């Protein structure tokens, strides 16, 4: 579920996501809110906090869109308002997919099978009727190279760690330090992780962050970029909309 796909979803559903740039003073946490299954009603709104160009709010944004599309948190029971809602008891929160409140693993870029089923059920219900109405097909090209022009890795590290004076981007942990970290040392940009090196209390520390989609990840092949935390060659024909439609499953009203 790429950032481009998330923006596409918003255009399809006419969802309003308000991205605020103000952080709460009393806490370092970021706020978010959305109405479950509100995509086709007057409740098709959500709110996400973000720091400009830090990409902190990207996963939160997709998480809230998941709610608006009818998906509860992984591990939660079925919703009683959405018809035939299957719930997510079969997908433990600890698996850390998009709809989990925990987001530290590789799965954070993907919806669980429970979330996928909930979204499908919602889209084929009367509640989700607007999701499959024929819409005007935009064909705006998606150019991954724009990400690097927006924000380089060095600036990314400074934005993510504004309270650390000496912080810099490194492609990977130096060889002479890896043995100290053992098997826990972060792999770096080859695995689509941006490493920020900082000196805190005279000790070198490394902070790892998921590289934004479109970040170059292979020095020997400049065409390879990060997409959902995988270093790969992106499709050359990516657009904001594809040409396929979900086939409408008509159900009688309740």
Whether 49 sits among the annotated catalytic residues: the reply is no
Q: How many residues does the chain have?
A: 254
Catalytic residue among 64, 148, 197, 219: 64
Residue found under tokens 């890896």? 178
Contacts 24+ apart (CB under 8 A), 10-15: 10/65, 11/138, 11/240, 11/241, 12/131, 12/135, 12/241, 13/39, 13/40, 13/44, 13/68, 13/69, 13/130, 13/131, 14/44, 14/130, 15/39, 15/44, 15/45, 15/46, 15/65, 15/68
Q: How far apart are CA 25 and CA 60, in angstroms?
A: 19
242: three-class secondary structure by DSSP: coil
Is 67 annotated in a binding site? The answer is yes
* 57 close to 21: Cβ distance less than 8 angstroms: no
- Please identify every residue annotated as catalytic: 64
The binding site comprises: 63, 67, 73
Q: Could you tell me which residues are annotated as the binding site for Zn(2+)?
A: 63, 67, 73
């Amino acid at each position: 579920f790429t950032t481009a796909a998330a923006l596409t979803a918003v255009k399809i559903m006419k969802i309003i996501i308000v991205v605020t740039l103000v952080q709460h003073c009393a806490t370092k946490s970021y706020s978010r809110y959305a109405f479950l299954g509100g995509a086709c009603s007057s409740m098709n709104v959500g709110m996400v906090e973000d720091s400009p160009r830090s990409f902190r709010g990207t996963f939160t944004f997709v998480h809230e869109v998941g709610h608006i599309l009818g998906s509860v948190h992984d591990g939660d029971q079925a919703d009683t308002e959405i018809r035939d809602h299957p719930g997510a008891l079969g997908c433990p929160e600890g698996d850390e997919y998009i709809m989990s409140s925990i987001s530290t693993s590789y799965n954070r870029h993907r919806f669980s099978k429970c979330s996928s089923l909930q979204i499908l059920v919602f889209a084929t219900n009367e509640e989700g009727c607007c999701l499959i109405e024929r819409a005007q097909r935009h064909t705006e090209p998606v150019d991954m190279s724009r990400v690097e022009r927006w924000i380089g890795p060095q600036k990314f590290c400074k934005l993510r760690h504004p309270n650390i004076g000496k912080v810099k981007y490194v492609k990977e942990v130096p060889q002479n330090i890896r043995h100290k970290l053992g098997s826990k040392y972060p792999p770096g940009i080859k695995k689509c992780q941006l490493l920020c090196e900082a000196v805190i209390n005279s000790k070198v520390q490394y902070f790892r962050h998921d590289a934004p989609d479109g970040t170059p990840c292979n020095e020997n092949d400049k065409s390879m970029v990060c997409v959902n935390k995988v270093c790969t060659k992106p499709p050359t024909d990516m657009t904001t909309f594809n040409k396929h439609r979900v086939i409408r499953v008509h159900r009688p009203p309740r």
